[in-house]
Copies of this chain bind each other. A is one copy, B any other.
Amino acid sequence: MPSPAKANRGPSAGPENRRALIDAAREVFASEGISAPLSSVARKAGVGQGSLYRHFPDRIALAAAVFEENIGELEVALNDQARTLDDLLELVVEQALVSTALIDTITAHPHDERVAHLGERLRALVERVVEREKSAGRLGAHVDVDDVVLAISMMAGVLARSEPGDRADVGRRAWALFHAAFSAGS
């Protein structure tokens, strides 16, 4: 008896495993970073290694699925006209590790289609918010979207490297710095 096996649902299994894997990956990546062992993702999902690799051939595939969802939620949240740049930053701070992971993955595999378009979506998202802030007069017309993206990237990075307890403080400090930069003459 090599293994008893406990729950196979046959061909009609559907995408349940996929969902469980993505949910588990979101948690694991958010708490341990993008380099966390995939085996621990499978374990947390209550799924075998085989299923993990069947659904997601490699780490990037899994990460892309996670990012896809994250960005989707970000887009929904920021479609609300009342959301400001500060809200965006707040979301980034919350998801520091995942944000950094996304940026890292994009820069590490700039030619991988699965991930490249996510970068564009992210940029478009930032652009929308920036435009809104400009219209509202809360941001000078001289501010460049790419600078904001860079600022977010730097912030996410430093937050990811901070001790969790310091995150809030470091985030506030960094954001104040950028706030000053974006308010300045140029």
Q: Give A contacts to B, CB under 8 Å.
A: 103-104, 107, 110, 146-147, 150-151, 153-155, 157-158, 161-163, 170, 173-174, 177-178, 180-186
A155, A158, A173, A185: residue with the most chain B Cβ atoms closer than 10 Å: A158
Is A158 a contact of B163 with CB atoms below 8 Å?
no
Q: Give the docked Cα–Cα distance between A162 and B154 (Å).
A: 11
Knowing A177-B181, A185-B180, the reply to whether A161 touches B157 (Cβ < 8 A) is yes
* In the complex, chain B residues whose CB is within 8 Å of the CB of A153: 158, 161
* In the complex, chain B residues whose CB is within 8 Å of the CB of A180: 180-182, 184-186
Q: 8 additional contacts, CB 8 Å, given A154-B155, A154-B174, A180-B185?
A: A146-B173, A150-B170, A150-B174, A150-B177, A151-B177, A181-B181, A181-B184, A184-B184
Knowing A180-B185, A184-B180, A184-B184, the reply to whether A150 touches B161 (Cβ < 8 A) is no
* In the complex, chain B residues whose CB is within 8 Å of the CB of A150: 158, 170, 173-174, 177
For A166, the closest partner residue in chain B by CB is B107
Knowing A154-B154, A154-B174, A170-B150, the reply to whether A104 touches B184 (Cβ < 8 A) is no
Is B181 a contact of A107 with CB atoms below 8 Å?
no
Question: How many of these chains are in the complex?
Answer: 2
CB distance from A166 to the nearest CB of B (A): 8
* In the complex, chain B residues whose CB is within 8 Å of the CB of A170: 150
For A151, the closest partner residue in chain B by CB is B177
Would you give 11 A-B contacts (Cβ < 8 Å), ordered by A?
A110-B163, A147-B177, A153-B158, A153-B161, A154-B155, A154-B157, A157-B157, A157-B161, A180-B185, A180-B186, A183-B184
Q: Give the docked Cα–Cα distance between A132 and B155 (Å).
A: 27
* In the complex, chain B residues whose CB is within 8 Å of the CB of A147: 173, 177
Q: Give the docked Cα–Cα distance between A182 and B183 (Å).
A: 11
